[in-house]
Amino acid sequence: QSVLTQPPSVSGAPGQSVTISCTGSSFGAGYGVHWYQHLSGTAPKLLIYRNYNRPSGVPDRFSGSKSGTSASLAISGLQTEDEGDYYCQSYDSSLSGWVFGGGTKLTVL
């Protein structure tokens, strides 16, 4: 069981917006959260780093936020190609290592 908790699934229609949550005690220690997109048959891709920063090339439809022990990934203007799995990731000092959330499957209806 992951120390970072994500909902197993979310869904939305094309053009709509969805939010994926990630909760973890490690956030309370001040560690940042990163988000990855993992589309079927491809390597995971860094989507958001250190809570709200987007790497070059990531559309501004993707945004991140963090408050206390919770973080969120928001996706606006859903597209069919957004369908896949999304993971949050942070550092856990009790484990002395990096951890991933359990993942959230996004379905674009």
Partner 1 sequence: EVQLVQSGAEVKKPGESLKISCKASGYSFSGYWIGWVRQMPGKGLEWMGIVYPGDSDTRYSPSFQGQVSISADESIRTAYLQWSSLKASDSGTYYCARHRGGYDDNFDYWGQGTLVTVSS
Q: Which two tokens stand for residue 18?
A: 């969805």
How many Cβ atoms are within 10 Å of 14's Cβ, its own excluded? Answer: 11
Which residues, including other chains, have CB under 8 Å from residue 96's CB and lie 6 or more apart? none
Bridge partner list, 87: 36
Select the residue interacting with partner 1 from 18, 20, 34, 106 (CB under 8 A). Answer: 34
Select the residue interacting with partner 1 from 20, 22, 32, 108 (CB under 8 A). Answer: 32
Tell me if 54 contacts partner 1 by CB under 8 A: no
Select the residue interacting with partner 1 from 13, 43, 80, 81 (CB under 8 A). Answer: 43
Tell me if 66 contacts partner 1 by CB under 8 A: no
Tell me if 31 contacts partner 1 by CB under 8 A: yes
Pairing of strands 34-38, 84-92: antiparallel
* Binding span for partner 1 by CB under 8 A among 10-18, 62-70, 74-82, 83-91: 83-91
